[in-house]
Amino acid sequence: MDPFIIVNISQLIAVTADHGNPLRGIKQNELNVIPYGCVVVDNGKIKDFGQEKDIRQKYSSYPCLDSHGSIVMPAFVDPHTHLVFAGSREEEFLCRLRGESYLNTLGKGFGIFSTVASTKEATEDDLYQTALERVRLIQKQGTVGLEIKSGYGLEFSVERKILKVATRLKNDLDIPICRTFLAAHALPKEFETRREDYIDLICNEMIPSVVDEKLADCIDVFCEQGVFTPGESLRILSKGKEVGLKPKIHVDEFASIGGLKIATDLGVMSADHLIKSKKMELIEFGKKNGIAVVLPGTSFAMNGEDLSYPRKIVDLNIPLAIGTDFNPGTCMCCSMQTMMELSVLKQGLTIEEAINASTINAAFACGLDQVTGSIEIGKRADLAFFSVNHYKKLPYIWGINKLSHLLIAGK
């Protein structure tokens, strides 16, 4: 691929890590904004960047790509999705808006079990084609890197099918994808009176097979009241970590039951949701290197939820990332633009914090920080062009897609 220079950028939002670490506290509110910036792309990677007048002089023989006055920033990374599934759950969604809780629908056998049944019936090729269409839609909103969880199988043949689809997407599209094994998403109906048997199945059969077949990078558990206990979560995540899977955890979405302490003790890559987390448990979690992933679309769609929790997390000096939680039950929105807007409009984040949370910190939250999520020499040229002339207009002009172009590894 021939090298080129991106020119006529109104603002280059040169997001960077903090000396190889995620951004936290005051640093999460800082942005390196280069007016009339310029980026040099060579062989799909960032070769150089800086002021246009300096870069054009230094690389005078390179052809130019005109951004037409756009702002340019790292493409979004979505660190929490349930992208591969079949079926739809709009009736359940509307019932919940009328006041019925998610856990109530789960207890009645609705919720996730509807998606599990549909996903089981779908072929691998059907799931792949649907997921491919979703990835294309996600890219049109400015996202390149993403995490994809299993979890809608709850039996290994279907969990494996989901992970194979995620692997095919990663290989076919040449995009940074983190694959997460989430068989502990719910307790299958046939194991309702045999909880220990299902956990044994995950630990002794599913996890070794996933690792042997190289189908996952991470392991996750839904540690929540009525789902998996902290002790059960610790056993599953510890087994995964023991064989090389990086631990992540769904925690404190509906109630705080001690899962965040497990996350802290285990040293998870990320703890996700955190709506009901206790202050002291957050403080202890913040002493480790894990990322707090908040999911604005999910909390926004849950009636009666306090939306201010991301502000509390940042103020406690914990590195914060934003994800979509794209899933058929609680958030059928795959737009990181929308999540960033909601975090500023409704959750108390500054736009600077939201940009960092949607790019470099999100990359750290799913293990993609070495390849994407920032403007740093040697990283992939995954760059989003937005048709505004100032980054502060990103949440100001909200509810519409402002992406004009997307570079994926320089293409």
Structure tokens at 150: 């299993």
Residues 206 and 284 in one domain: yes
pLDDT bracket for residue 304 (50, 70, 90): low
Q: Which residue has the higher pLDDT, 361 or 307?
A: 361
Give the CA distances from residue 321 to residues 76, 168, 317, 349, in Å, rounded to whole numbers and listed in that order. 11, 26, 13, 11
Cα–Cα dist 410/381, whole Å: 5
* The pLDDT of residue 112: 87
Asked if 135 and 181 sit in the same domain, the reply is yes
Number of domains within the chain: 2
Asked if residue 395 and residue 290 are part of one domain, the reply reads no
Are both 125 and 182 inside the same structural domain? yes
Average pLDDT over residues 386-396: 98
User: pLDDT, tens digit, for every residue of 149-187?
Assistant: 999 999 999 999 999 999 999 999 999 999 999 999 999
Looking at residue 301, its pLDDT comes to 85
Q: What is the predicted pLDDT for the residue at 102?
A: 62
**Is 85 in the same domain as 208?**
yes
The answer for residues whose C-beta is within 8 angstroms of residue 368's C-beta and 6 or more apart is 77, 145, 176, 178
pLDDT tens digit sequence for 205-228: 999 999 999 999 999 999 999 999
Those residues with Cβ within 8 angstroms of residue 20's Cβ, 6 or more apart along the chain or in another chain: none
Residue 107: per-residue pLDDT: 59
Residue 104 shares a structural domain with residue 126: yes
- Answer yes or no: is pLDDT of 266 > 60: yes
Instruction: For residue 6, name the pLDDT band (cuts at 50, 70, 90).
Output: very high
What value does the mean pLDDT of the chain take? 95
State whether 81 and 67 are in the same domain.
no
- Evaluate if residue 247 carries a pLDDT over 90: yes
The larger pLDDT score, comparing residue 108 to residue 76, is at 76
The CATH number of the domain holding residue 59 is 2.30.40.10
Q: Which residues contact 155 (CB under 8 A, 6 or more apart)?
A: 120, 188
Give pLDDT tens digits for 93-136: 887 777 777 667 655 556 888 999 999 999 999 999 999 999 99
Q: Quick one: 196 and 222 in the same domain?
A: yes
Domain of 263: which CATH number?
3.20.20.140
With b for 16 or more beta-carbon neighbours within 10 A and e for fewer, the 333-347 pattern comes to bbbbbbbbbbbbbeb
Q: What pLDDT band is residue 373 in, cutting at 50, 70 and 90?
A: very high
Does 183 share its domain with 327? yes
> Which domain does 282 fall in, by range?
77-365
pLDDT at 44: 98
Q: For residue 110, what pLDDT is reported? A: 66
pLDDT score of 19: 96
Residue position matching structure tokens 């939250």 = 365
pLDDT over 70 percentage in the chain: 98
Looking at the fold, whether 65 and 85 belong to one and the same domain comes out as no
Closest CA to 82 of 343, 257, 273: 273
Same domain for 33 and 13, yes or no, is: yes
Same domain, 175 and 47: no
